[in-house]
Amino acid sequence: MIIVTGGAGFIGSAMIWKLNQMGRKDVIVVDDLGESEKWRNLVSLRYEEYLNKQVFLELVVTDQLPWDIEGVIHMGACSSTVEKDCDYLMENNYHFSRILCEWALEKEHRFINASSAATYGNGKNGFSDDPDRIEGLKPLNMYAYSKQLFDLWARSEGCLDSIVSLKFFNVFGPNEYHKGQMRSMVCKAFHQIKNKSKVSLFKSYRPDYADGEQERDFIYVKDCVEVLWWLYENRQANGLFNLGSGESRTWNDLAGAVFRAMGKETVIEYVEMPEEIRGSYQYSTRAETARLAETGCPMDFMSLEEAVDDYVRGYLTAEDPYL
């Protein structure tokens, strides 16, 4: 059995889709559905069982899971960068991950963890995934700090020799619809264009960046799960790695790709950025991917234009937009 935590979420459900493609249906989905719409991500997927995360945690700590477990793909976390409940983030993102990692290592299960590029803060210290440099990173929000704490713990305990922790950059793609304001700009732009025939992007407040020329490392969720599957199968490849395209593209590029995929003329308006985020806004991100490439992991990713076209034409405009 393969455990996928956050299995009803964005990347987690995409990972189950990939497992199903590889003929694997022996999956335990762990999540906290509550009253959210995440359940829709599970409808077309095939898995053995669903467990609420608290029930799952109790079974783990009491060593009562009734299945033969092969590995854990730990995508479960609160991913909101504006979450204010710090104790919740500590318990959900840090302590839960530690407990699960320690259990997996004790049982000799494969363990893959979702970290975040948000740990890089404003990026002034670069985007190197060298574990010896992570102490110098300064996260700008509590979500990022909770992810940073796990990576620091894993390094100090020597766990990075036996597990994978992935710093995801700007992931977009099908099954993100439940994320509200945390949805990707591709998804938001599609609906803005559909409803208003234009896209709103933040103005720049730095003279070295024109409006809309702020940059991000965008990566398609289908490319992410290809990497996850390869790392899951190749247990010799362990460590802390960035998971991004390795390229920076502008918000203008992204918006233009969405307009083209929809067959529409590009119309962009530039709006004021909220004052509360101006001081912590990232103007450029780009994953350093050499360490991941050195493992032998295939990294033939779609271009931004190819990925946006696949997402828009294959899902956002489809009757059934789910994987």
Query: Does some domain include residue 32?
Result: yes
Query: Does some domain include residue 192?
Result: no
Nearest by Cα to 145 from 78, 74, 90: 90
Query: Does some domain include residue 269?
Result: no
What pTM value is reported for the model?
0.96
For the chain, the domain total comes to 1
Q: Are strands 71-74 and 239-243 parallel, antiparallel or unpaired?
A: unpaired
Query: Does some domain include residue 267?
Result: no
Question: Phi first, then psi: what are they for 93, rounded to 5°?
Answer: -95, -30
Query: Does some domain include residue 211?
Result: no
Whichever domain contains 140, its CATH number is: 3.40.50.720
**Average predicted confidence (pLDDT) for the chain:** 96
Could you report the per-residue pLDDT of 257-302, keeping only the tens digit for each?
A: 999 999 999 999 999 999 988 887 889 999 999 999 999 999 999 9
CB within 8 Å of 76: residues ≥ 6 apart: 5, 6, 7, 9, 12, 30, 31, 53, 96, 114
Query: Residues 50, 177, 179, 209: which is the catalytic one?
Result: 179
Query: Does some domain include residue 163?
Result: yes
Query: Does some domain include residue 138?
Result: yes
Provide the pLDDT for residue 229.
Answer: 98
Query: Does some domain include residue 194?
Result: no
Virtual torsion, Cα 277, 279, 283, 287, nearest 10 deg: -90
Active site residue 179: yes
Active site residue 143: yes
Domain that holds residue 235: 2-172+218-246+283-302
Confidence of residue 80 (pLDDT cuts 50, 70, 90): confident
Query: Residues 47, 143, 220, 232: which is the catalytic one?
Result: 143
Q: Would the pLDDT of 122 be above 90?
A: no
